[in-house]
Amino acid sequence: MNELLKWNEDLRIGIDEIDEQHKALVVLLNQLHTAIHEKHGASACMETLDKLVEYTRVHFTVEESLMRILGYPDYASHLESHEKLIAQVVELQGKLKSGRANISFELLHFLRGWLSHHIMETDKAYVPYFISKGVERTSSRKSFWKFW
């Protein structure tokens, strides 16, 4: 089966730790796509969606921490975009769990569009600032945020 979102160099921002987190989000999105496409059932789909949402929170926390530490000038706007997405997804999770909505391809396309935009536009915007503040493009340290 085709991936909903294929990792490619266009999605790479050039900071390895953040790129690895983005790759993990792409993997989880594709797992959700597979679960829906192969009709694994609502429970399996919800479990995968929950993992995607939780990992998104982890990723946002890392980004926001770096922005605060480095004094990123557009921090408030970036934080607002994170909070808006989390609120949308939490509302959607509530609808799904209460039976007022179904996990669908429409949801997948929303998440794919959001993730692509988040990486290509919002995250790429902070890279020059992070680099100017000494953030390494590559890291030999073991990543502390990998859960799955």
Summarize pLDDT for 71-124 with one digit per residue, the tens: 999 999 999 999 998 888 888 788 778 877 777 777 888 889 989 988 999 899
Measuring CA to CA, which residue among 128, 117, 22, 20 is closest to residue 70?
128
% the chain with pLDDT above 90:
49
CATH assignment of 21-132, among 2.40.30.10, 1.10.8.50, 1.20.120.50, 3.20.20.70 = 1.20.120.50
pLDDT in the model for residue 37: 85
Confidence of residue 137 (pLDDT cuts 50, 70, 90): confident
Q: Record the pTM.
A: 0.86
Buried b (16+ CB within 10 A) or exposed e, 72-84: beebeebbebbee
pLDDT in the model for residue 148: 39
Query: With contact defined as beta carbons under 8 Å apart, do 123 and 18 qualify?
Result: yes
Task: Give backbone dihedrals phi and psi of 119, rounded to 5 degrees, phi first.
Answer: -75, -55
Task: List CB contacts of 108: < 8 A, sequence separation 6 or more.
Answer: 4, 29, 32, 33, 36
Three-state SS string over the chain comes to CCCCCCCCHHHCCCCHHHHHHHHHHHHHHHHHHHHHHCCCCHHHHHHHHHHHHHHHHHHHHHHHHHHHHHCCCCHHHHHHHHHHHHHHHHHHHHHHHHCCCCCCHHHHHHHHHHHHHHHHHHHHHHHHHHHHCCCCCCCCCCCCCCCC
Confidence of residue 1 (pLDDT cuts 50, 70, 90): low
Place of tokens 């939490």: 90
Average pLDDT, the chain: 86
21 has pLDDT over 90: yes
| Listed range (53-62, 97-106, 129-138) with the worst mean pLDDT | 97-106
Distance CA 11, CA 132 (A): 21
